Amino acid sequence: MKYACITRYRDAYPVRLMCAVLEVSPSGYYDAVKRGVSAQAGVDAQLLQPIRLAYAASKGTYGAPRVHRELRDHGIHVGKKRVARVMRADGLVGCGPRRAFVRTTDSNHAYPIAPNLLARQFDVHDAHGVRACNQVWVSDITYIPTHAGFLYLAIVLDLAARRVVGWAMRDTLAAELAVSALQMALDARRPAPGLIHHSDRGVQL
């Protein structure tokens, strides 16, 4: 207990002074520290193999918390901080699995492609310099990771108003997703004939 107290405050007070106050010899204290370090090194060496096995079984994805749980599940009771220290000394760093990537556009198909009437002309002002709403709509699809899987979101944006005029969400990428978003926009804005609808799959009138 005295040695532990000295170790705790050794950065704040001289070791010899604390030894004198607690009536222990400095040589006895340093011998105890050496024995403790040696014992700790022995325990760390015994833990290294099961830690490496748990880390390898996870294909390098487990960090100290999950490796600690694996050891505990196999009856090896050790502190989480010790596991982290041993892994750090051995250069074992957990790396989470790569996030799944969802492709929402497939250009490799045999379906007809609508002509690109917009041709990257994103200026939607009329002849008087006034922004003309309901002349050009653009749309796209993205995905949102959730605990239950991916949620797909389709939006329709009016280029002039810079606002979403239609949207839809589904748990699949079926055509109904994009159609529902476009239908919402049509019902809400009722554009005149001549509207250009540009999507990542082509341009439609």
Highest mean pLDDT among 82-86, 120-124, 156-160, 184-188: 184-188
Q: Do 103 and 136 reside in the same domain of the chain?
A: yes
Domain end residue (candidates: 36, 70, 89): 89
Would you state the pLDDT for residue 106? 63
Would you state the pLDDT for residue 202? 43
Q: pLDDT at residue 170 above 80?
A: yes
Q: How far is CA 139 from the centre of its chain?
A: 26
Q: Do 114 and 193 reside in the same domain of the chain?
A: yes
Q: Do 80 and 158 reside in the same domain of the chain?
A: no
> Would residue 45 count as lying in a domain?
yes
Q: What are phi and psi of 12, to 5 degrees?
A: -100, -30
**Among 89, 77, 82, 87, CA closest to 56:** 87
Q: Are β-strands 202-204 and 196-199 bridged in parallel, bridged antiparallel, or unpaired?
A: antiparallel
pLDDT above 70 coverage of the chain, percent:
73
Q: Do 120 and 185 reside in the same domain of the chain?
A: yes
Q: Do 105 and 180 reside in the same domain of the chain?
A: yes
Q: Do 71 and 134 reside in the same domain of the chain?
A: no
Domain end residue (candidates: 65, 89, 113): 89
Q: pLDDT at residue 205 above 50?
A: no
Which of 105-109, 190-194, 199-203 shows the lowest mean pLDDT across its residues?
Answer: 199-203
Would you state the pLDDT for residue 183? 92
Q: Which stretches of 61-175 are assigned E, i.e. beta strand?
A: 136-146, 149-158, 163-170
Domain end residue (candidates: 29, 54, 89): 89
Q: What is the pLDDT of residues 32-63, one digit of tens each?
A: 777 765 556 666 777 888 898 888 888 888 88
Place of tokens 């502190």: 79
Would you state the pLDDT for residue 184? 93
Q: What is the pLDDT of residues 110-166, one digit of tens each?
A: 767 666 666 666 666 666 666 778 888 888 888 888 777 788 999 998 888 788 999
Place of tokens 């005295």: 2
> Would residue 70 count as lying in a domain?
yes
Please compute, for residue 28, the number of CA atoms within 13 A of its CA located in the half-sphere on the CB side. Answer: 11
Helix ranges, the chain (H): 2-8, 15-22, 26-57, 64-73, 80-89, 175-189
Q: What is the pLDDT of residues 101-118, one digit of tens each?
A: 566 566 666 767 666 666
Q: Do 55 and 133 reside in the same domain of the chain?
A: no
Would you state the pLDDT for residue 203? 40
3-state secondary structure of 97: coil
Would you state the pLDDT for residue 107? 63
Would you state the pLDDT for residue 104? 58
Confidence of residue 20 (pLDDT cuts 50, 70, 90): confident
Q: What is the mean pLDDT of the chain?
A: 78
Number of domains in the chain: 2
Would you state the pLDDT for residue 167? 92
> Would residue 94 count as lying in a domain?
no
Residue type, 47: L
Residue-range definition of the domain harbouring residue 73: 2-89
Q: Do 80 and 137 reside in the same domain of the chain?
A: no
Q: Do 11 and 81 reside in the same domain of the chain?
A: yes
Mean pLDDT of 91-102: 66
> Would residue 167 count as lying in a domain?
yes
Q: Do 129 and 60 reside in the same domain of the chain?
A: no
Q: Do 108 and 188 reside in the same domain of the chain?
A: yes
> Would residue 64 count as lying in a domain?
yes
Burial class (CB in 10 A: 0-12, 13-18, 19+), 56: exposed
Would you state the pLDDT for residue 46? 79
Q: Do 157 and 76 reside in the same domain of the chain?
A: no
